[in-house]
Structure 1
Amino acid sequence: MRFPKATVASALNLVAYICSSEASMVLRVYQDPVRGSAGQSVTLPVSYTAPEPGGYLRITWSRDGRDIVAYGGLWRRSPGEDRRCGQWMVVSGEFQRRAMLFPANASLLLRNVQASDSGVYELTISQRTWGTNGRLTLTVVPDTGNRAEAAKKQTAVEANIQYISLVLVLFFLLFIVGRHRVAC
């Protein structure tokens, strides 16, 4: 049996396309460097596209060779459904109440950042045989004092309100006492 040349060529092109378009994990870093103010929260924004619609996924954020957050989970993905079947997450001691990982896109939220949090953060995402790495630089600048000035102004306004309230109460009492004396 002989196949027409066009059919053979089309089949070979299809095989070549399938082999050349081998899926890989794609990591997108949306902002580098990231700047934050001391005492505020900062998000290290990233996202990824996994080559397989489900399976085991591991996400690790680290700095200076030490893990900050490590996550692992079994995902079941199908059209219209994204379900985690089993998962675990470990947050290192110094970031225990300050770090939050969003497994759906791998972004990392750091709360109450300090100048000591500045540095290069490394992200590793892997799924079975696929994996990718990324880096972001975080720079934490000192608080400019605007919030401290606003707090002082707020305190001054509250003190003025208390003072005015006290004066009004005193005038009211004097008025009542004066009317009471006149009536007696």
Structure 2
Amino acid sequence: MSSSQCCWSLGSLLLLLGGNLGVLLNIHQDLVNGTVGQSVLLPLSYRFSRAPCFPVSIVWTFTNSTDTLISCTLLNCSLGAGGDPSNCSAKCFPHPAYRRRAELFPENGSLLLRDLQLSDSGVYSVSFRPWYQTQHLTLTVHEQRSTPAHPADTVKQDHISYYVSGICSAFLLLLLLFCCIRHWGAAQQKRRKIIKQQQISSVEESHMESTVVRDTAPVYASIEDSFEQSQPRPTPEVVYTSITSPGPPGLDTGPCHLLL
């Protein structure tokens, strides 16, 4: 008789004896609570009462569904002194609806559910085959609830808010001061430019006046020279002269006075 036939015969015998002598299951918590959107572990442990005949199947089912949630076939395991399995070689097959949400741990048989939903609430069953020994546990999924922050966390957050507000206020003050200084500098530069332009204009006006005076002086000098060179007219004098001309007899031939 082959070893596999012997193992199946032994399994059949254990099943006839009650089916609870091949593997011993231990449910650590039969009521489990979870929160929507988080993960939860359905805890389980098992050990073999004697050397098992591999392969051994671990099957998790959900009573709200007729399909198998996940199944795992143990191909081989190392057994400790008390029959505790370790370093198991296994192949697990989750249902398509739980492909990314369910994970089974072969060494202890526990089931991890991710991204919980309210519809995940219910009774879950785990069974080991070929012994068909089954255990049940209940999962209750709750809505997320906002919990009040711890006082220390609140104080810490307040301090952080104060620091951030202070830094922002200081930055705004520095920015305002920079704008004022820049505006004042621009005004001073404009004022200096205006003063410089006024100074340049004054210098140009002074230069023009000096040029006019310098150009006018020779004219006055020329005119003065002309007046100096011209002689004043002599004061007219009255000069008289006498002219005697012969005339016919009987006429007075006195002298004739002429004004020169």
TM-score, normalized by length of structure 2? Answer: 0.49
| Structure ranking higher in helix proportion | 2
Query: Are 2:79 and 2:86, in contact at CA under 8 Å, matched by a contact in 1?
Result: yes
Are residue 82 (structure 1) and residue 80 (structure 2) matched?
no
**Consecutive unaligned residues in structure 1, runs of 5 or more:** 1-21
More strand by share: 1
The answer to whether the aligner puts 1:68 opposite 2:69 as a matched pair is: yes
| Secondary structure at the counterpart of residue 123 of structure 1 | strand
Match of 2:222 in 1: none
Q: Quick check: 1:75–1:82 contact (8 Å CA) kept in 2?
A: no
2-structure distance, mates of 1:27, 1:78? 15
Helix, strand or coil at the partner of 2:29: coil
- Show the counterpart of 1:17: none
Q: Distance in 2 between the 1:78 and 1:25 partners?
A: 12
Residues 39-91 of structure 1: CA deviation (Å, up to 9, x unaligned): 22111111111234453221111113321111112114155993334x31111
Q: Aligned-pair distance for 1:161?
A: 7.3
Q: Distance in 2 between matches of 1:78 and 1:46?
A: 17
Larger radius of gyration: 2
Correspondence 1:120 to 2:118: no
Count of aligned residue pairs for this structure pair: 155
The CA distance in 2 between the partners of 1:131 and 1:168, in whole Å, is 73
**Cα offsets for 1:130-151 (capped at 9, x unmatched):** 341111111111112339x99x
Structure 2 Cα separation of the partners of residues 79 and 31 of structure 1: 24
CA-based RMSD of the aligned residues comes to 3.6
TM-score by length of 1: 0.67
SS in 1 for 2:97: helix
Question: In 2, are the aligned partners of 1:42 and 1:111 still within 8 Å (CA)?
Answer: yes
User: What residue identity is the alignment partner of 1:84?
Assistant: C
Equivalent position amino acid for 1:62 in 2: T
Contact 1:47 1:107 in 2 (8 A): yes
Larger RCO (CA under 8 A, 6+ residues apart): 1
Deviation at 1:177, TM superposition (A): 4.2
Equivalence for 2:139: 138
The runs of 5 or more residues in structure 2 that have no matched partner are: 1-19, 189-260
Partners of 2:176 and 2:59 lie apart in 1 by 70
Alpha carbons of structure 1 residues 167 and 53: separation in structure 2 relative to 1, 3 Å: farther
**Partners of 2:41 and 2:102 in 1: how far apart?**
10
Trace 1:20-39 onto structure 2 (pairs within 5 A).
23-39=21-37
Determine the structure 1 residue equivalent to 2:108.
105
